[in-house]
Amino acid sequence: MTGGLILLIVLALLALFGVFIFNQLVQLKHNVGKAWANIDILLKQRHDELPKLVETCKQYMQFEQATLEKVMQARSQVASARESRNISALGQAEGALRLGLGNLFAVAEAYPELKTNETFQHLQARISGLENAIADRREFYNESVNVNNVRVEQFPDTLVARLFGFRQFPLLRFASEEKKDVNLKQLFTR
């Protein structure tokens, strides 16, 4: 009788511990989802602002169509990756878009009328602000993913994770092009 009672208590404690781990893993999974949703909102806002910026620039930058087209192509790639929730493709597309925007803003320096245009200044500030917010949210997303991924691999959490299908999530990494400096000399010698 005493042995059966001890076994029952041990099994009850193990079940409670399993429920505790399960609930923590659910919370981590939802934290990753919330972090992604925050990035998604900012990407959508920037996606909506870019055509306005390109249209404003077109009025002044008649000879810079290739720069404008690269921004719009990268915008399309970001939208496609965002909609499909393909984190690795999003990282690559984000790198191309950030590089294109850097080139666009650098080329805009050669157009004094554009630089002083109120709409351009507003859009440039808005997009730059969104870029900073995306970088902050990317850091939060990656931290949430890291915490989730570590817990899914740790023992005994891995037992509960495998039993209930919890998985790891990919980190959001931007392409190496984003880390390069913009070649200003090349931009101004066209």
**Torsion (CA) 24, 28, 30, 31 in degrees, nearest 10:** 130
Structure tokens belonging to residue 62: 């008649």
pTM above 0.75, yes or no: yes
- CATH class, 25-188 region: mainly alpha
Per-residue pLDDT in tens (0 to 9) along the chain, 190 residues:
788 889 999 999 999 999 999 999 999 999 999 999 999 999 999 999 999 888 888 887 776 788 888 889 999 999 999 999 888 889 889 888 988 888 888 888 888 888 888 888 899 999 999 999 999 999 999 999 999 999 999 999 999 999 999 999 999 887 655 444 444 444 444 4
